Structure 1
Amino acid sequence: MNSEFYNLDLDRIRYSLVWEDSQTLYRSLKIGTNDHLLVITSAGCNALNMLLKNPASVTAADLNPVQNKMLLFKQHIIMNFDYELYHAILGLAGETAVNEAKQRILPTLPAADQAFWTAFLEENPGGLLLSGKLEKFMMGFHRTLNQEQQELIHQLIAFDTIDAQYKFFLDKLDNSSFKQTFITYYSDENLSNGRDPKLLKHVDESGGIVFYKRLLLQASSSLLKENFYFRFIFFGLQDLPHHVLPPCYRQENYSSLKENMDKLQVIQGEAVEYLLSAPGLKITKASLSNIFEYISHQEFEEVCLSLAKHPDRDLKLIFWNLLNIQGENLLQSESRIKLKSQSLAQESCFYFKNQVQIQFVPVMSLHLT
């Protein structure tokens, strides 16, 4: 696949969180015990979230070896330590806890990994969840607000009804300088501070205004205090309720992660190339994050047609649209490809537009119907 990611230096953590929410993933894929799953590694969150559904296997693939290294680091911790240390190294208990956890973890790693993670955690004392380039950019917005605006934003997570929350947003924020400050911060020019400008080559929509409209829509349709991504963007890990964490970071799921860890394999490479390979034919369901953000519409269609060439492929694939809107139209030339776009759930991050599902139907199934 001709992705703009091939033009980047893949030598750092670009994402320390997976921004595609687990609940939308769960509802779309309906993971069963016989499923062989493929997921973009990114920060590893959804690879781990998939394991919690007890599938047959999970393959995590990423072009960036450092992203894979982060997932393997989490895997090592889960397999060898208790939840308290896992919770600490993520950054959920503060910098002191990160440092204490580091002292216990590092001696158990191979020498090369010790050197890498020693340097990494010295550079990122706040823990794994705060270490990504995108995450640092996203959380920087809050610091651009004056004290009054910061206090108003904080009041948004105190409401128990959506109507009261939305009215407050319109009265106190939409009619203030907050709106323009937000639009300016998330403009295409500034967005390159969180995402490499090369990755914006194929975008169909402009960042700031679009993201503000999506934030406004979210404020009108779901409780922000229950949304992990909203709270993380505006407040980081401060006062983050345990129940809003992604499933793979909650204590009640830790033993299940341990039990299913042997089903995980991590590979370096492109997910589409893996699906087109012989091992990729076993994959029944895949979550490809927003990787089609970085290719042209023509390339997207060619990828879908390539995946449909194998007559026995039976695959359900999902991905998220951000600013490059793929999959708006059904590919009329190939009856085996079924596309469906759906709105995102209340647990999602406001900056995504939608999720797209693609079903590749085996030739035999078409003949039977």
Structure 2
Amino acid sequence: MTVQAKRIIDDAVVRKTAKPGEKLLDRAFAFAFKGLVYAQIWEDPLVDMEGLAIERDSRVLCIASGSCNALSYLTADPAQVVAVDLNRAHVALGQLKIAAIRHLPTYDRFRRFFAEADHKENREIYDTLIAPHLDAESRKYWESRDVTGRRRITHFTRGIYRQGLLGGFIGMAHLFARLYRIDLSRVLAATTLEEQREVFERELAPVFDRRFVRWLTDHPASLFGLGIPPAQYAALAGDERMAVVLRRRLEKLACGFAVADNYFAWQAFGRRYDRRPEAALPPYLQRANWERMRERIDRLDVRNANMVHYLGDADATSHDRYVLLDAQDWMDDAQLNTLWAQITRTARPGARVLFRTAAEPSLLPGRLAPDLLDRWTYREEQSADLTARDRSSIYGGVHLYELA
């Protein structure tokens, strides 16, 4: 990682006003965040697209993460999607997907590479059909060695969704479950919501009453694998013990939606996507959208950048859809106001901003300057509805604002 890339992440994660011990935790998270964190993004793109109401002339700005949502927004036919990310690995993953959509010959080949992501021939497919079309920085990332000494592109021969910080965290959760003689895949074998709840109540819920689990989750570093920095840990816990909060979020994931329709549940409880022909997949991976993706892929731009810096260089009234994921949970008040000042300056009439928070309420009231907050209307009822229907289930709130 370059010195500049390291500085970008440190500036975003390490709180300037934190106490020394808190800064040490922030720096530990920043170090963990410098590799691949999310092989799959954990925000529901169907909820995003409904809230954003993307139109033909929309210019969407989002945080890339695993690029699943940035790619999926193309199915709504916007004029442009720009996806920025502080993490070089996430940018390389986005560029890999873009090159694959452009140059792989068939949908079936694309699906095997990214939806199944564990076939031995994927390495040769990369070398012959994808690598020649990658930018130098992304190609360097995928062809360099990971800590095991293997080329990173071999993640796609061993299951990319088992890799990265989140993949490792989920793997550890499965290991702990086996130690407690729990088979998490039983959730996926359920055929009704009632059966899903029975499995959760019988096998998963009691784990959160274990003394060791409650002790472990009381430490902010225990959730680094979820991509949750110390600043967000406090917001997620609120006034409750973390084990109680995690139990409630996992309950929604396991019981709130039919597993046949929820690929987030498959990632959590199976560490992969469902492989049946009509399985639920992110929109960009669905067969019905393959031709749309190929036709519109040139409208997506994935780049390594801080969103505030990107907006600072953008023209006034140049964008109208913004997706902030949960990044604001990491920010202090000064950073929050700087971001929204740039969003407001670059926003077209009717612009919409969608973001998620670890806690349930929107974090803007009381923190964003009144002259900025008054420019935006909070769509409270729609936000509550989107939150209830977000299949990823790990966030307390999905929030939608519209330029007044």
- TM-score w.r.t. the length of structure 2 is 0.76
List per-residue Cα deviations over 1:135-191 (Å, max 9, x = no partner).
22123211211378434x3332333433443244324443x4465376566553321
> Do 2:236 and 2:358's aligned partners in 1 also have CA atoms closer than 8 Å?
no
The correspondence for 2:290, drawn from 239, 254, 266, is 254
Higher mean alpha-carbon deviation, 241-250 vs 36-45, is at 241-250
Equivalent residue, structure 2, for 1:86: 110
Instruction: Describe how 1:315-326 pairs up with structure 2 within 5 A.
Output: 315-322=351-358, 326=362
Aligned-residue offset at 1:116 = 3.1
Q: Does 1:140 align with 2:182?
A: no
Q: Which amino acid aligns with 1:359?
A: E
> Do 1:35 and 1:57's aligned partners in 2 also have CA atoms closer than 8 Å?
yes
RMSD over equivalenced CA pairs, Å: 3.3
More helix by share: 2
Q: Which amino acid aligns with 1:248?
A: Y
List per-residue Cα deviations over 1:52-82 (Å, max 9, x = no partner).
1111111111122332121111111110112
Q: Does 1:226 align with 2:243?
A: no
Identity of aligned residues (%): 18
The correspondence for 2:329, drawn from 293, 309, 315, is 293
List per-residue Cα deviations over 1:18-37 (Å, max 9, x = no partner).
11111110111111111111
Instruction: Describe how 1:1-369 pairs up with structure 2 within 5 A.
Output: 3-4=12-13, 8=30, 11-81=34-104, 82-90=106-114, 92=116, 94-105=118-129, 108-109=132-133, 112=136, 113-118=138-143, 119-122=151-154, 125-146=157-178, 149-151=181-183, 153-174=184-205, 176-177=206-207, 180=210, 187=218, 188-195=220-227, 197=229, 200=232, 203=235, 205=237, 207-237=242-272, 239-241=274-276, 242-279=278-315, 281-297=317-333, 299-301=335-337, 303-305=339-341, 307-308=343-344, 314-322=350-358, 326-327=362-363, 329=365, 333-334=370-371, 335-339=374-378, 340=380, 341-343=383-385, 344-361=387-404
> Do 1:18 and 1:44's aligned partners in 2 also have CA atoms closer than 8 Å?
yes
Aligned-residue offset at 1:109 = 4.0
Equivalent residue, structure 1, for 2:18: none
Q: Which amino acid aligns with 2:187?
A: L
List per-residue Cα deviations over 1:295-351 (Å, max 9, x = no partner).
135643554355446796542110111259643637682331222342524452122
List per-residue Cα deviations over 1:90-142 (Å, max 9, x = no partner).
26053424334334335524694544323212466424443321222123211
Cα distance in 1 for residues equivalent to 2:259 and 2:102: 34
> Do 2:362 and 2:397's aligned partners in 1 also have CA atoms closer than 8 Å?
no
Q: 1:115 and 1:286, CA in 2 relative to 1: closer, same or farther beyond 3 A?
A: closer
Gaps of 5+ in 2: 1-7, 16-26, 144-150
> Do 1:15 and 1:135's aligned partners in 2 also have CA atoms closer than 8 Å?
yes
> Do 1:91 and 1:97's aligned partners in 2 also have CA atoms closer than 8 Å?
no
Q: 1:288 and 1:263, CA in 2 relative to 1: closer, same or farther beyond 3 A?
A: same
Aligned-residue offset at 1:3 = 2.9
Q: 1:261 and 1:217, CA in 2 relative to 1: closer, same or farther beyond 3 A?
A: closer
Residue 96 of structure 1: SS of its match in structure 2? coil
Q: 1:281 and 1:208, CA in 2 relative to 1: closer, same or farther beyond 3 A?
A: farther
Residue 393 of structure 2: SS of its match in structure 1? coil
Cα distance in 2 for residues equivalent to 1:133 and 1:120: 14
- Higher relative CO (Cα under 8 Å, sequence separation at least 6) belongs to 1
> Do 1:321 and 1:355's aligned partners in 2 also have CA atoms closer than 8 Å?
yes
- TM-score w.r.t. the length of structure 1 is 0.83
Q: 1:101 and 1:280, CA in 2 relative to 1: closer, same or farther beyond 3 A?
A: farther
Gaps of 5+ in 1: 362-369
Cα distance in 2 for residues equivalent to 1:231 and 1:303: 34
Cα distance in 2 for residues equivalent to 1:276 and 1:336: 19
> Do 2:318 and 2:347's aligned partners in 1 also have CA atoms closer than 8 Å?
no
Q: 1:149 and 1:230, CA in 2 relative to 1: closer, same or farther beyond 3 A?
A: farther
Q: Which amino acid aligns with 2:142?
A: W
Cα distance in 1 for residues equivalent to 2:342 and 2:139: 41
Higher mean alpha-carbon deviation, 234-243 vs 21-30, is at 234-243
